[in-house]
């Protein structure tokens, strides 16, 4: 899949999430990096649709994390904004293990990378003209191969 994306509309962010979902599998860790309003939650909503989750994926800000089931693989959506450290996502006491789920983390940069051997970093930016740009940055050989870099 392409590493650089220019996303003029919310629907484009959503569509990229759907596309990304197509290559996600159990045990994956995806770290979303970008400022408030960059589209991290919107991208996760697209991932949810792509995985076949039926319920709406909303921002988990006040609950830290949410598990969405009913899709191809459970989707664990984490907002790490208020977490000082994460020894293990399993410490969040979710009813799902990271190994059996796809884990998507907002605000987790520098905090959650050690939870998995490899991870996909998704860098989102909001340009002055409101267009969003996204860069996929693979960390680990598996992700390099999966993205055909
Ligand atoms: N490609 C885009 N172009 C314009 N607006 C977008 C785009 N992607 C998302 N948005 C909008 O930006 C707003 C903030 O998105 P959100 O996903 O909540 O950001 P974050 O989770 O990074 O804080 C939402 O209203 C969303 O619809
Ligand atoms: Mg958000």
Residues with Cβ within 8 Å of 44's Cβ and at least 6 positions away in sequence, in order, are: 17, 32, 57, 75, 77, 104, 106
Probe ligand 1: pick from 30, 39, 108, 123, max atoms within 8 Å of CB?
A: 39
pLDDT in tens, 71-107: 999 999 998 887 777 665 667 767 678 899 999 999 9
Element (H, E) at 40: helix 40-51
CA 118 to CA 72: how far, in whole Å? Answer: 21
- Residue 86: the pLDDT is 64
Average pLDDT over residues 106-135: 94
Q: What is the 58 CA–ligand 1 centroid distance (Å)? A: 12
Q: What is the 48 CA–ligand 1 centroid distance (Å)? A: 15
- Using the predicted structure, report yes or no on whether residue 15 has a pLDDT greater than 70: yes
Average pLDDT over residues 5-22: 98
User: pTM (2 decimals)?
Assistant: 0.94
- Using the predicted structure, report yes or no on whether residue 48 has a pLDDT greater than 80: yes
Least confident window among 12-16, 59-63, 108-112, 122-126: 59-63
Contact 106, 81 (CB under 8 A): yes
Average pLDDT over residues 15-25: 98
């Amino acid at each position: 899949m392409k590493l650089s994306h220019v996303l003029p509309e919310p629907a484009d962010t959503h569509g990229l999430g759907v596309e990304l979902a197509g290559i996600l599998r159990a045990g994956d860790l995806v770290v979303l990096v970008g400022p408030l309003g960059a589209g991290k939650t919107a991208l996760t909503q697209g991932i949810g649709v792509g995985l076949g989750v039926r319920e709406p994926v909303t921002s988990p800000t006040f609950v830290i994390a949410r598990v969405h089931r009913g899709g191809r693989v459970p989707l664990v959506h984490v907002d790490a904004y208020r977490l000082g450290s994460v020894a293990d996502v399993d410490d969040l006491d979710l009813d799902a293990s990271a190994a059996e789920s796809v884990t998507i983390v907002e605000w987790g940069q520098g905090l959650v990378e050690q939870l998995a051997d490899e991870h996909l970093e998704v860098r989102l930016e909001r340009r002055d003209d409101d267009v969003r740009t996204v860069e996929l940055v693979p960390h680990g050989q598996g992700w390099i191969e999966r993205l055909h870099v």
